[in-house]
């Protein structure tokens, strides 16, 4: 279990926000008035975790967040897809396979002794963007896009501070990873496998992205791979995101930490398209803040909590 970091518990009304990542799970207790993070903890998330071990991990981390004086109103889990966010059932088979088909809302409610409507689920890319919209690099933007660059590419769209999944310029469900592009799909060009594959083609070496990036200052092949990645990023965003008319596109995820190597080449492709391309301001805190803001979103709460607990959904609508 990761060591908890205490900050302040002066505000009683709060929610637990979980970011279920690829290798770690992070939890924060967030104030619901201003989404301030009050306390955090982090723990490894082994890929071979059983369902019971996953539930134990969530439950154990939650106890590191609880002062004696008050309890949170509920919990939000920011999760990768595929995941049925309304019912709380994972459809993932590439990782956390033990959760496949499990009713996590019911299982967590039983483990915590809470009502099922006190657990909500949000896509991790959506949580990332909501965090940046409310407290980060997209704050004040009328139209924003969040892009999470990692083993895959996550995406989310927001208008006037609320996520949107349909409308002019928005791909189905706000997903761009599987859109046909070039000789394949978008994710073929904008993911870790694109960088690793490009580097292997030039050098014959199978290296991780972080290793390729760390050697780029002295490795011309590494620089070339990231320059190509940036060119492709700009091309894709010009063709796929520009129709939405965003004011800003915010990049997050592991690859974005190497933005200095590719961002200028992406921006060269976007001159004249009228939107800024920036990196995350909140970094790892973005999905935690975004999960808390998701709780505050009355339409999302009503849609999801009413599925299993109509009374709880009504009470959540009344939260400030």
Residue 312 scores a pLDDT above 90: no
User: What is the tens place of the pLDDT at every residue in 74-113?
Assistant: 999 999 888 899 989 999 877 788 888 889 999 999 999 9
Measured CA to CA, the distance from residue 320 to residue 318 in angstroms comes to: 6
130-149 b/e with 16+ CB inside 10 Å = b?
A: bbbbbbbbbeebebbbbbbb
Can you give the pLDDT at residue 7?
36
Where is average pLDDT lowest: 21-25, 58-62, 206-210, 312-316?
Answer: 312-316
Can you give the pLDDT at residue 215?
95
Can you give the pLDDT at residue 280?
96
What is the token pair recorded at 47?
């890929």
Mean pLDDT across 148-153: 92
Residue with tokens 């006037």: 160
Can you give the pLDDT at residue 82?
86
Measured CA to CA, the distance from residue 276 to residue 287 in angstroms comes to: 21
Can you give the pLDDT at residue 47?
79
In sequence order, the 6+-apart residues with CB closer than 8 A to the CB of 257 are 213
What is the token pair recorded at 130?
């909501």
Measured CA to CA, the distance from residue 38 to residue 203 in angstroms comes to: 47
Mean pLDDT across 128-146: 95
Strand ranges inside 124-231, DSSP E: 143-149, 153-159, 162-164, 180-181, 184-185
66-104 b/e with 16+ CB inside 10 Å = b?
A: eeeeeebbbbbbbbbbebebeebbbebeebbebbeebbb
Residue with tokens 């349909």: 166
- pLDDT band at 193; cut points 50, 70, 90: very high
Residue 237 scores a pLDDT above 80: yes
Can you give the pLDDT at residue 96?
81
**Residue 42, SS3 per DSSP:** strand
């Amino acid at each position: 279990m990761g060591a908890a970091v205490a900050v302040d518990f002066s505000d009683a009304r709060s929610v637990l926000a979980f970011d279920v990542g690829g290798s770690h799970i992070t939890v924060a207790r967030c104030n619901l008035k201003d989404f301030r993070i009050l306390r955090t903890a982090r723990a490894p998330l082994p890929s071979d975790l059983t369902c019971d071990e996953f539930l134990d991990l969530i439950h154990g981390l939650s106890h590191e967040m609880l002062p004696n004086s008050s309890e949170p109103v509920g919990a939000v889990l920011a999760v990768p897809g595929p995941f049925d966010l309304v019912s709380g059932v994972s459809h993932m088979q590439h990782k956390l396979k033990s959760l496949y088909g499990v009713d996590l809302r019911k299982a967590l409610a039983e483990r915590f002794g809470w009502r099922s409507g006190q657990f909500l689920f949000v896509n991790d890319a959506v949580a990332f963007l909501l965090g940046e919209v409310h407290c980060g690099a997209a704050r004040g933007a009328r139209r924003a896009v969040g892009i999470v660059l990692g083993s895959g590419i996550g995406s989310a769209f927001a208008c006037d501070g609320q996520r949107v999944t349909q409308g002019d310029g928005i791909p189905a469900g706000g997903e761009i990873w599987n859109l046909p592009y070039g000789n394949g799909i978008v994710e073929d060009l904008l993911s870790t496998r694109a960088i690793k594959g490009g580097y292997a083609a030039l050098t014959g070496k199978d290296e991780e992205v972080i290793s390729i990036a760390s050697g780029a200052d002295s490795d011309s092949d590494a620089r070339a791979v990231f320059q190509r990645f940036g060119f492709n990023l700009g091309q894709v965003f010009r063709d796929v995101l520009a129709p939405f008319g965003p004011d800003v596109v915010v990049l997050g995820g592991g690859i974005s930490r190497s933005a200095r190597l590719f961002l200028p080449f992406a921006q060269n492709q976007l001159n004249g398209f009228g939107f800024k391309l920036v990196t995350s301001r909140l970094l790892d805190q973005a999905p935690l803040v975004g999960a808390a803001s998701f709780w505050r979103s009355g339409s999302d709460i009503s849609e999801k909590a009413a599925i299993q607990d109509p009374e709880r959904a009504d009470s959540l609508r009344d939260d400030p």
